[in-house]
Structure 1
Amino acid sequence: MAGGTTAERGARPKPASGHPGEGGGGGRFRLPRPRLLITLAAAVVVAGGVLWALYGSQWLRVAKVTTSGTEVLSRAEVESVAAVPLGEPLVSVDTDGMESRLRQKLPRIDSVEVGRSWPDGISLKVIERTPALLIGKGAKFIEMDADGVRFATVDKAPAGVPLLKMSVGRTAGSDRFGTERLMREAVAVRSELPAPVARDTRAVRVRSYDSVTLELTGGRTVMWGSGEDGTAKARALTALMKAVPKATHFDVSAPTAPAASGS
C-alpha cells in the first residue's frame, strides 16, 4: 500500500526548522567566535610577558640597597645581617624574613621596615632603641629602653642617660616585687620626669617599690616614692623647683603635699 492516509501524514512531526544546532539539530558544538580567541590569546601573551619581566628579565632584579635611620649601628652592619640577595628577582625577595632576622640578630633595632624600591632596589628603614637607663656591669654598661628591654652592652656610658642603682633590702612586702618589677618601675619613673629634671638626673636609686630616689646634678635629690601618680608628681616637682630654686632635697612622694629642704 503506497504511503499512508491523509490523517497519518498529518500526524507525522514536521522537520525542525531554524539554524543548525538549534531545536532538533542534536545539540551540535559551536566553535568560539574569532574575537574571543584573539582576546584569550592576548591575555595569555600579556600574562607571560609580566611573569617573564618579574622573574626572567634583568630589568627587575635587586641591584642596590638603601639603609636609613641608623644612629649607633652602622649601615654596613645592618646590611650585612639583612643579607639582601643582589641579582635576584625583586619580586621574590622575602622581606618578612629579612625583618625578622634583623630584629633577632640586632637587638638594638626596635623596628625595621624592609620595602621594595622598584625597579631594582631594597630599602631598610631602621628605628633603633633609645636607652632610658643604664645598669652597671663591671666596667661596662647595659642599656635598657623605656619598655624595660635590655638590648646592648657598651663600654662607655651614653651621655645624658641615668644610671640605675638597685639597693633593695628585705622589707615588709618586698617578696611581692622582684628585681624585674622594680626595674620596670624605675623606667616608668624616668619616663615621667619633666624635661629639665630628666636632663639633670644622673642616677635613679631604687630601695623598694615605694622608695625611688633621683640623684641630680649639684648634689640635689628628689624623693619620688613609687611609680604611681607620675604625672601629678612631675607637676608638683616643677612647681616646687620654681618656688624653692636653691633647695637641695625635694619630696614629691605625696604630690598633694610636696616639700623641699636644704639650701
Structure 2
Amino acid sequence: MAGSTTAERGERQQESSGPPPARRLIPPRLRTIIILAVALVLVGAGSVWVLYGSNWLRVERVSVSGTRILTPAEVREAADVPVGAPLISVDTDAIEARLRRKLPRIDVVDVVRSWPHGIGLKVTERTPVLLVQKGGNFVEVDDEGVRFATVSEAPKGVPALELTLSQPGSRAASLRRFGEDRLVREAVRVAGAIPAAVAQRTQALKVRSYDEISLELSGGRTVSWGSGEKGAAKARTLTALMKASPEARYFDVSVPTAPASSGS
C-alpha cells in the first residue's frame, strides 16, 4: 500500500488539533460600565480641581447685614474670613464661634457661602432690656439675663436695674439662696412681662429679694410687683388698676387677685 501523501497528513493533523481558538471579546454591557466609571473618575477629579485648585471659586468678598450698634468693619475683623481660600474649604462653624466669642453683642449669626466668590454674615444683635450701672458705665442685659456689653451712655428707654441686696436679714438670705445671677434673671423675667404702656414709663427695677421686685415709673409712681411669677396676670391687673385709679401713685400687684393702689 502506498503511503499517505503530504496533503493527507496535513488534513489529519488539522482535524486532530481542532479549530483555532476564538478571540475573547468584552461584553457590551461591561464595556459601557467601564467607560462610565472612567468618565466619573475624570469628572470627579475635574470637580475637585475646580473647587480646590482653581481660582474660579475662591473667597473675594465678605458681606455683613443686620448690624445696629456694631459696624460691618467690626464684624468682618472679628470673623477673620480667609480671603483667597477656596470657598468650599471655609469653616463656617469656626467663623460663627469666633464672632460669638469676640463680639458678645451678637445673639445669632448665620454664615453662608455666596457662590462663586462671597461669604455672607447675617447678624442679629442682642437687645438690652435692663441696665446695670457699673462705675460711670452701664452694663447691658438682654432678655435671657446675659450681660453682653458695657457702654458709657445709657440707651434711651431701657430701665436701670438696682440690686439693693446688701442689707441684713431676709434680703441677704435671698442673695445667698438664689445668687445674684438668678435674681438678675428674675428681674429680666419681670421686665419682659411689664405692659408696653407701662414699660415706656419704667425708669428702674429695684430688686430687694427674689419676691420683692418693684418698678419705679416716671412722675414718682411706684409698682410693687413681687416675684416674676404670674407675670401675665400681674400685667393685666396693673393695666386695669391704672385705668381705675389714674391719679394713684402706688400700685401693688404682687398678689394679682388682691391688688391695691393708694396716693394721689
What is the TM-score of this pair, normalised by structure 1?
A: 0.86
Cα deviation per residue 1:210-251 (whole Å; 9 max; x = unaligned)?
211100111111010111111110010011111111211111
Question: Which residue pairs with 2:237 in the alignment?
Answer: 236
Q: Tell me the amino acid that sits aligned with residue 170 of structure 1.
A: P
> Aligned partners of 2:183 and 2:87: how far apart in 1?
47
Cα deviation per residue 1:58-82 (whole Å; 9 max; x = unaligned)?
2111111111111111100000011
User: Displacement of 1:57 after TM fit?
Assistant: 1.7
User: Displacement of 1:132 after TM fit?
Assistant: 1.1
User: Displacement of 1:208 after TM fit?
Assistant: 1.3
Task: Write the mapping of 1:43-58 to structure 2, written as runs, cut at 5 A.
Answer: 43-58=40-55
The CA RMSD measured in Å over matched residues stands at 1.9
Q: Tell me the amino acid that sits aligned with residue 141 of structure 2.
A: M
User: Displacement of 1:35 after TM fit?
Assistant: 2.4
Question: Which residue pairs with 2:163 in the alignment?
Answer: 166
Question: Which residue pairs with 2:192 in the alignment?
Answer: 191
In structure 1, which of residues 131, 147, 151 is the aligned counterpart of residue 148 of structure 2? 151
Task: Write the mapping of 1:224-263 to structure 2, written as runs, cut at 5 A.
Answer: 224-263=225-264
Q: Tell me the amino acid that sits aligned with residue 228 of structure 1.
A: E
Q: Give the gaps of 5 or more residues in structure 1.
A: 1-18, 22-27
> Aligned partners of 2:133 and 2:247: how far apart in 1?
31
Cα deviation per residue 1:74-98 (whole Å; 9 max; x = unaligned)?
1000000111111111000010001
> Aligned partners of 1:95 and 1:177: how far apart in 2?
38
Question: Which residue pairs with 1:116 in the alignment?
Answer: 113
Q: Tell me the amino acid that sits aligned with residue 225 of structure 1.
A: G
> Aligned partners of 2:36 and 2:150: how far apart in 1?
64
Instruction: Provide the aligned length of Structure 1 versus Structure 2.
Output: 239
Distance 1:162-1:41 versus aligned 2 partners, 3 A rule: same
User: Displacement of 1:29 after TM fit?
Assistant: 10
User: Displacement of 1:31 after TM fit?
Assistant: 7.6
Matched, 1:85 2:82: yes
Q: Tell me the amino acid that sits aligned with residue 152 of structure 1.
A: A
> Aligned partners of 1:93 and 1:202: how far apart in 2?
46
Task: Write the mapping of 1:133-148 to structure 2, written as runs, cut at 5 A.
Answer: 133-148=130-145
More helix by share: 2
Identity of aligned residues (%): 59
Question: Which residue pairs with 1:181 in the alignment?
Answer: 182
User: Which deviates further from its counterpart, 37-46 or 231-240?
Assistant: 37-46
What SS is found at the alignment partner of 2:183?
Answer: helix
Q: Tell me the amino acid that sits aligned with residue 208 of structure 1.
A: S
User: Displacement of 1:171 after TM fit?
Assistant: 2.6
> Aligned partners of 2:79 and 2:114: how far apart in 1?
16
In structure 2, which of residues 61, 68, 71 is the aligned counterpart of residue 71 of structure 1? 68
> Aligned partners of 2:236 and 2:216: how far apart in 1?
18
Q: Tell me the amino acid that sits aligned with residue 55 of structure 1.
A: Y
Q: Tell me the amino acid that sits aligned with residue 147 of structure 2.
A: R
What SS is found at the alignment partner of 1:178?
Answer: helix
Cα deviation per residue 1:37-71 (whole Å; 9 max; x = unaligned)?
32122111211121111112221111111111111
Question: Which residue pairs with 2:5 in the alignment?
Answer: none
Q: Tell me the amino acid that sits aligned with residue 228 of structure 2.
A: G
Question: Which residue pairs with 1:12 in the alignment?
Answer: none
